[in-house]
């Protein structure tokens, strides 16, 4: 394997992807405290919630309040997910820096997740871009980025294997409709390193590396970190992860377990890649998470084992605390 140097962006998705998978709701103030703790650990991009119907996901009913608080954190890029035009409008009104639109490659998952066909989901991108572009320059969301996450890109628990040609075709269509970046999501934990490397190689050839939004891996079958390595080999430098491995898709049966942020940061730093994240402060943020969700099961090898003796950050000017 080739040696890696440089920087990697970790996009923390726990406050959205993690919390939406839980049956209970984290209090708004606790969410904000957790997001502040994550940012204090050095995470510079956080998906703080989703603008969806509170009837479907009551855990996300306070998303506008959370976005407003997160916008006050210096240097933080605030993301939120929006499944449709109505959600995107609310996200722009709240002042997100980026809106993430989920588009399922699997027709069955698309209908279960957002109650739309994949064709309708792709077409909505143009409407959302038109809405954003029509906002007055002085409104909070006027300059928000529009990113697409291609869900079930590596397989679907409802349909099974997903054709790779379809993934690439949908990525190209998303860009054509006005998306500024497209990432691939292993929503169901089906992906393996060979498949990940092959699909990202094709994606980059199709839309260009500068338009690859990143990689979203679940650790359902223990392949999360291995899949990160495979994506790194193709030049991908943005990865989603969730503190303590919280999360999963409520509309994809068996899709549990996001990639653990703490474990991902340690692996990347150990490889010489600068994430800008202080691992010990990140592990400390788990206590803030537990304060808002008492008794919740948290995952992560690094949090359990601690940092190894002699560990050094990739950026030696940022020593371990």
Count of other CB atoms within 10 angstroms of residue 192: 16
- Whether residue 53 contacts residue 18, with contact meaning beta carbons closer than 8 Å, is answered with no
CA 228 vs CA 150, 160, 214, 260: distances in Å: 17, 22, 10, 12
Q: How many residues does the chain have?
A: 321
- The residue annotated as part of the active site, out of 80, 81, 96, 249, is 249
Where do the DSSP E strands lie in 211-300?
A: 212-217, 238-241, 273-274
Q: What is the DSSP string of 42-56?
A: T--EEEEEE---TTT
CA angle 39, 40, 41 (to 5 degrees): 90
What torsion, rounded to 10 degrees, do the Cα atoms 227, 231, 233, 235 define?
A: -160
Tell me which H or E stretch contains 108.
Answer: helix 107-114
- Whether residue 179 contacts residue 173, with contact meaning beta carbons closer than 8 Å, is answered with no
Residues 121, 84: Cα–Cα separation, whole Å: 8
Tell me which H or E stretch contains 118.
Answer: helix 118-133
CA angle 66, 72, 75 (to 5 degrees): 115
Count of other CB atoms within 10 angstroms of residue 24: 11
The reply to whether 63 belongs to the active site is: no
List active site positions.
249
């Amino acid at each position: 394997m080739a040696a890696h140097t440089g920087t990697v962006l970790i996009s923390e998705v726990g406050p959205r992807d993690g919390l939406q998978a839980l049956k209970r709701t984290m209090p708004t103030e606790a969410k904000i405290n957790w997001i502040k703790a994550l940012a204090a650990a050095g995470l510079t991009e956080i998906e703080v919630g989703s603008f969806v119907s509170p009837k479907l996901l009551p855990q996300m009913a306070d998303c506008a309040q959370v976005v407003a608080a997160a916008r006050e954190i210096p240097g933080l890029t605030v993301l939120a997910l929006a499944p449709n035009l109505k959600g995107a409008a609310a996200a722009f009104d709240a002042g997100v820096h980026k809106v993430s639109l989920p588009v399922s490659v699997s027709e069955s998952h698309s209908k279960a997740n957002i109650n739309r066909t994949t064709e309708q989901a792709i077409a909505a991108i143009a409407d959302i871009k038109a809405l954003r572009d029509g906002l007055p320059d002085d409104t909070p969301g006027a300059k928000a980025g529009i990113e697409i996450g291609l869900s079930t890109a590596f397989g679907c628990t409802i349909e099974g294997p997903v054709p790779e040609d379809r993934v690439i075709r949908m990525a190209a269509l998303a860009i054509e409709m006005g998306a500024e970046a497209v990432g691939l999501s292993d929503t169901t934990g089906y992906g393996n390193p060979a498949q990940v490397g092959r699909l990202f190689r094709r994606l980059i050839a199709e839309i260009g590396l500068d338009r690859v939004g990143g990689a979203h891996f679940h650790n359902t079958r223990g392949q999360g970190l291995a899949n990160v390595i495979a994506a790194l080999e193709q030049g991908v430098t943005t990865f989603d992860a969730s503190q303590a491995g919280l999360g999963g898709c409520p509309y994809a049966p068996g899709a549990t377990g996001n990639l653990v942020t703490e474990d991902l940061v340690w692996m990347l730093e150990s490889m010489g890649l600068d994430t800008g994240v202080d691992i010990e402060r990140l592990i400390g943020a788990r206590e803030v998470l537990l304060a808002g969700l008492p008794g919740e099961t948290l995952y992560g090898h690094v949090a359990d084992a601690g940092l190894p003796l002699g560990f050094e950050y990739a950026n030696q000017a940022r020593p371990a605390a």
